[in-house]
Structure 1
């Protein structure tokens, strides 16, 4: 029988101790490069954790983009729950399967997979702390090529969501009810540069927490006590906080950091800046 996962982070040493045992989880390699959407899959083919499946950001961890541009849902909209349930079944994940996600980019794409599984009501999911580099440092074995796996014949069940979301209309209707935390780099938050979206700046009233600041130089997450101090320093209860970024991906890493710190209940604004800034009627702040 598979052992429960100590969510939301698992160390490379703890995961390595499971290798070759019935406690080995379904492992998702979520490595990705926004500038080269094929790079992550190519890197996966060259080396990956034992029996890992590849989770492509655009194909597997996102839904269909609107044909009218990034106004509805942003650049990386959420998949429908039915579509992601089918993806989980294809990976061989059922309701009680332990899942570990990792990437080679500091955790944002693995965090997106973690958040989506939690959104589906899946409890047994964790992110490999430090990703591929930590696994290699621990002496973990690697494989190459595709991983054959059998899909779950009965499919993945649709259950109540385990993670809250918020949309643009709700934020506009009562802007003071929610504290927004923006996960983008400080220069993008301030509106000094904007390499991806239609306008520069941020949602008025938002605060900035660059997702990479959650990590130590090693690529592992900072201590839970330090993360708790940082996020409590924003001065709002977790239930009053919503996270966003450029397209709803790196914001998941801030949500993961909060959960690692024992601060649960914050929401994700999935459309994020790519959705918000595409509508000229929505207010924008700079500096």
Structure 2
């Protein structure tokens, strides 16, 4: 398969899975492994996330602009921005300190498969627990709750755990409704993914060739359009159906990946 076609396919996977609790990075690493797709310093898998970031910005632009305009005179708007910053900081610090270890050690298909399966069983359990939703507005969570969600997001440093899965499950366990948990996961994704993109680009831009940039742009475009569809439909879907379908998907993909690794290596 020509590399540009592989890049488009992987970008599609990134966009479809980034905001679902199934681990986009885990899917990219697994599919890339079996396709034989290699990117320099694993930059492709990180940099194409910019497409998914822009998808959120386009969908939430009016709401974000309203919050921005309210900052000078609205304490609630300022409090929400502070809350997002508090939730973002743990991942920013740990990601910067452990960047090399994460890419060199944890970006491993065996680890991905095992965490996909384990996370699937966690989602199944969460959907069966009668959680009381006391927080139904993602912009009005208590400040300590934002910090706790941010700490739980750090679990997603392990590929296969899922950034959105960790934040959504964490928020629900802390009292958020399914819809509010998913919405805050979107908000938190913006600084988290933008930070990862910027840090990775600054560390690796010197080793990227014109061909590398071309496949990254192709993946970015595919990720943008796929993520646009997911962001527009996910909130309504999870409000009605919960996360059980994603749990089964994780278990199936993780088990299939393990079988593939044992047979093909």
Q: TM-score, normalised by structure 1?
A: 0.28
Q: TM-score, normalised by structure 2?
A: 0.29
Comparing both structures, which one devotes a greater share of its residues to helix? 2
Q: Which has the higher contact order (CA 8 A, sep 6+)?
A: 2
Structure number with higher strand proportion = 1
